[in-house]
A and B are shown apart, each in its own frame.
Chain A
């Protein structure tokens, strides 16, 4: 059986070729997106609400299929993958973590390995490894329910669950968006270190410029379904496009605000 790791002789982990996604009503959410994501990089999709960031993510793990164009995952068109097989090779973390409230932390983290029918003792070991990796001592957290976790802890479990089956690609949809600013900064720092260490291909959705500049190896700016441009973090604030200015201005405002205090 083909798995995602097999296709990794390709330079690009992900490639959008003129991909468009329309609602059944005809309204496009993503228009003619052409974009490549290299192996091991963290590409941040930045944009306002409704700019098509989440749609772009869902096109990758085939929760949505492009109405025009194609998306290649490790060199193979998304629609030619078996969706189940594809998704098990792509970690997925969403804003509220989407943990199963009726399962313990342990069982949540072991989800994909169990779906893939790993032997039980290997799952156990992997779950402990993953919980330690995201800074949650297994002895203390393994048996808890999601309702017994703080927002930050939930997101850590979400990341542990996404990484459990060691997928080469990780999709993150505003994973730190609902956290308080202090917890958010902690998680961003830890996540950046983790991303550098694990060498996964990561696509990270956010509307927070600071987060984009801090985490991204490149930033892809989306506006109303169109790609404005792709920038290295150092270039981003120098770019001349109006949408970049709009985001840069939000940064200035933050700065001015903090300065006034």
Chain B
């Protein structure tokens, strides 16, 4: 069977797995942003703590993804088989680029601008929300874009611990030694990644221009 015939015949399952995939990525990114943005903001003025946290996030990044999924299975509360374990692992992966870009983005805002903001009598909160964050939005969004694209890729491996997603086709195809089955997962995953990259790239440029 041709790969596109297979894709067409199984379009319902492909669509369902794609939705699952987007769900995994969306949930992981939401958690990662909810932790990474405030943590990054808090770490800007704490260089020592910053080194430790970035170091830890770096270490997580070096663990092979399949191994990380495996490590998490026996962990109580967050572990086990299924989507929630996968989401924890994916969030950890996405954390580093978000954290790093939030910190560098804010730190790279022209010090003269921040100083005049303080000197004119803005409170720290006003400086953060009206000056530092708007001016670092482009850099932060670049981090979000990288994190999203990486997460879309790594999420295919989450199928190995029963989290579903497009990886299901890939693992099945590998087991069956069938290229059409592999492609039914790999192709939509690649398309998702390209689409996310373009869309977030557009958003990034719009925010950076402001």
Residues of A within 8 A of B (CB): 61, 63, 84-89, 92, 94-102, 111-112, 115, 161-162, 171
Contact = CB atoms under 8 A, between A and B. Distances in A.
Nearest 9 interchain pairs by C-beta:
A98-B116, A87-B121, A88-B121, A92-B119, A98-B112, A96-B112, A102-B134, A84-B121, A102-B210
17 contacts: A61-B119, A84-B121, A86-B121, A87-B118, A94-B112, A94-B116, A95-B112, A96-B110, A97-B112, A98-B113, A98-B119, A99-B116, A100-B113, A102-B134, A111-B120, A112-B121, A171-B119
Contact of A63 (B118, B126, B134): B118
Contact of B120 (A95, A96, A102, A161): A161
A4 to B, nearest CB: 11
A85 B122 CA distance: 9
Interface band, chain B: 10 to 19
B121 A85 contact: yes
Nearest to A57: B119
B116 A115 contact: no
B10 to A, nearest CB: 49
Contacts of A89: 121
B113 A84 contact: no
Contacts of A86: 121
Contacts of B126: 115
A168 B134 CA distance: 31
Contacts of A96: 110, 112
Given A84-B122, A102-B210, 12 more contacts: A63-B119, A85-B121, A86-B121, A87-B118, A87-B119, A88-B120, A89-B121, A92-B116, A98-B115, A100-B130, A112-B120, A112-B121
A168 to B, nearest CB: 14
A111 to B, nearest CB: 6
> DSSP majority for the B interface?
helix
A161 B131 CA distance: 16
Interface in B162-210: 210
A230 to B, nearest CB: 25
A231 to B, nearest CB: 28
Contacts of B123: 84
B147 to A, nearest CB: 24
Contacts of B113: 98-101
Nearest to A82: B121
Contacts of A99: 113, 116
B146 interface: no
Given A98-B115, A98-B116, A101-B113, A115 B121 contact: yes
Contacts of A171: 119
Contacts of B43: none
Given A94-B115, A95-B112, A100-B117, A115 B122 contact: yes
B112 A102 contact: no
Contacts of B116: 92, 94, 97-99
Contacts of A161: 120
Contacts of A61: 119
A99 B112 CA distance: 8
Nearest to B118: A63
Pick the most buried of B113, B117, B122: most chain A CB atoms within 10 A of its CB.
B113
Interface string B98-118: 000000000000101101111
A120 B129 CA distance: 21
A98 B117 contact: yes
Contacts of B131: 100
Nearest to A92: B119
Interface string B34-51: 000000000000000000
